[in-house]
Amino acid sequence: MNKFQPATGLGHIFFWYDNWRLAARIRSRMLASGFIEYPLGDERVHCFLCDDFETCLPVLSNFLSDKEKRQVSVLMADSARPNLFDFGHMKSIEIHETQLLARWLGDMLMDRRYRSLMQPIVNAKNRADVLGYEFLMRGLHTDGTDIPAPSLFGTAEKCEMSYAVDMAAGESATRTARNHNITSDVFVNVLPHTIGDEAGFDAWLRSVLFASNIPADQIVFELVESQQLASVGALKTVVDKLHEHGVRVAMDDFGSGFNNLIGLVEVAPDFIKLDKSLVHDLRVDQKKWNLIANLVDSAKDSDIAVIAEGVEDVDTADILTRLGVDYLQGYYIGFPKDKPLSQILIAV
């Protein structure tokens, strides 16, 4: 039998090795961690008493390289006596680890253990004027504590579950906006691949737009540049579809790689969000000033508004305003919070 959690609460984990040196390392680590070895009479195979993969695999994952995780085959069985015939079900540590991550992430999504934080985006010239909020998804452990965003989205990518997490993030964003009666713009992150095909696109709109009862013209989809579609033409198709439904589009992380000024004109988003790398150290790196000024001029020639992310101090905010940036976002403007600015100010 091959189960992640033995029904009896008692099982064995088998390891098959071709690399003798690696075998010695793993055996030593398992014994040092308190696991009891079960002799099998085969030097290539080691077996240890183990309740479940969740308690055993972390012991190994913390000291094995990615290459070694692919080399070592593992089987978890709940049989009272280890059976060598079970070896046909063995998989690499890497595969088991991914399956456990997928189960953890799937449970989180099924239980709806996630929430959205809101970070304000304000007018550069009148910083009391809130354009809207970027809604940032945070997963929740079973005890209610936050799962760090890199862990959440990194796990989703590794398990090929980015689409499901994207859908949950959109649903959480619009639900949060509705619960707080937010009437300003709702910026929602989405990977272009998520809505790059008809089925994904329609499902996304049903989940994020139609089910929330939020007007389409209140939604701004931020297309995350780190995972772009195959071509500018494919990206333009997605943007055109969103515009047909009344949804506006922002190109996120602009200037970090894929997109350029030629692509910008062709795709014609409503906003570009300058990548944080362009804003970082702007006070001391005047070489970036001309670059940002040129981007702003090109965007405005195409009726595209410019949002600067990563604004962390008043000097940077003032420089960006002088360079013609339309809107500002960052810790200087406001940290991601579970309430909009108006409610935070009232509470204070």
Question: Is residue 207 located within the same domain as residue 247?
Answer: yes
Task: Please tell me the predicted confidence (pLDDT) of residue 8.
Answer: 37
Task: Please tell me the predicted confidence (pLDDT) of residue 317.
Answer: 95
pLDDT mean over 260-285 = 85
Residue 5 lies in a domain: no
Q: Which domain covers residue 171, as residue numbers?
A: 111-347
Residue 1 lies in a domain: no
Question: Is residue 309 located within the same domain as residue 343?
Answer: yes
Q: Side chain identity at 33, as an amino acid letter? A: S
Closest CA to 56 of 18, 2, 7, 15: 15
Please report how the helices 53-61 and 93-110 are oriented relative to each other, as an axis angle in degrees rounded to 10.
Answer: 120
Question: Is residue 52 located within the same domain as residue 86?
Answer: yes
The per-residue pLDDT for range 151-177, each reduced to its tens digit, is 888 888 887 888 888 889 988 999 999
Residue 38 lies in a domain: yes
The per-residue pLDDT for range 62-86, each reduced to its tens digit, is 777 777 777 777 766 655 555 555 5
Give the DSSP letter string of 89-126: G-EEHHHHHHHHHHHHHHHHHHTT-EEEEEEEEEESS-
Looking up residue 23, the CATH number of its domain turns out to be 3.30.70
Question: Is residue 38 located within the same domain as residue 171?
Answer: no
Residue 128 lies in a domain: yes
Task: Please tell me the predicted confidence (pLDDT) of residue 275.
Answer: 87
Closest CA to 225 of 261, 265, 193: 193
Task: Please tell me the predicted confidence (pLDDT) of residue 68.
Answer: 76
CB 260 within 8 A of CB 298: no
Beta bridge partners of 132: 121, 185
The per-residue pLDDT for range 169-217, each reduced to its tens digit, is 988 999 999 999 999 999 998 877 777 667 777 777 777 777 678 888 9
Task: Please tell me the predicted confidence (pLDDT) of residue 3.
Answer: 31
CA distances from 297 to 35, 101, 290, 291 (A): 65, 45, 10, 10
Question: Is residue 278 located within the same domain as residue 167?
Answer: yes
CA distance 11 to 48: 9
Task: Please tell me the predicted confidence (pLDDT) of residue 347.
Answer: 42
CB 99 within 8 A of CB 116: no
Question: Is residue 96 located within the same domain as residue 161?
Answer: no
Question: Is residue 152 located within the same domain as residue 35?
Answer: no
Q: Measured in whole angstroms, how far is the alpha carbon of residue 139 from the centre of its chain?
A: 10
Task: Please tell me the predicted confidence (pLDDT) of residue 113.
Answer: 92
State which of 7-11, 85-89, 153-157, 299-303 shows the largest mean pLDDT: 299-303
CB 27 within 8 A of CB 36: no
Task: Please tell me the predicted confidence (pLDDT) of residue 206.
Answer: 78
Q: Provide the percentage of residues in the chain whose pLDDT is more than 90.
A: 31
Residue 198 lies in a domain: yes
Of residues 57 and 88, the one with the higher pLDDT is: 57
Looking up residue 273, the CATH number of its domain turns out to be 3.20.20.450
Euclidean distance between the first and the last CA atom of the chain, given in angstroms as a whole number: 59
Question: Is residue 130 located within the same domain as residue 256?
Answer: yes
Question: Is residue 175 located within the same domain as residue 46?
Answer: no
pLDDT mean over 298-315 = 93
Does the pLDDT of residue 51 top 80, yes or no? Answer: no
If you count DSSP H runs as helices and E runs as strands, how many of each does the chain have, helices first?
Answer: 13, 13
CA distance 292 to 272: 12
Task: Please tell me the predicted confidence (pLDDT) of residue 30.
Answer: 83
Question: Is residue 338 located within the same domain as residue 208?
Answer: yes
Instruction: Give the chain's domain count.
Output: 2
Question: Is residue 185 located within the same domain as residue 272?
Answer: yes
Does the pLDDT of residue 312 top 90, yes or no? Answer: yes
For the whole model, what pTM was predicted?
A: 0.74
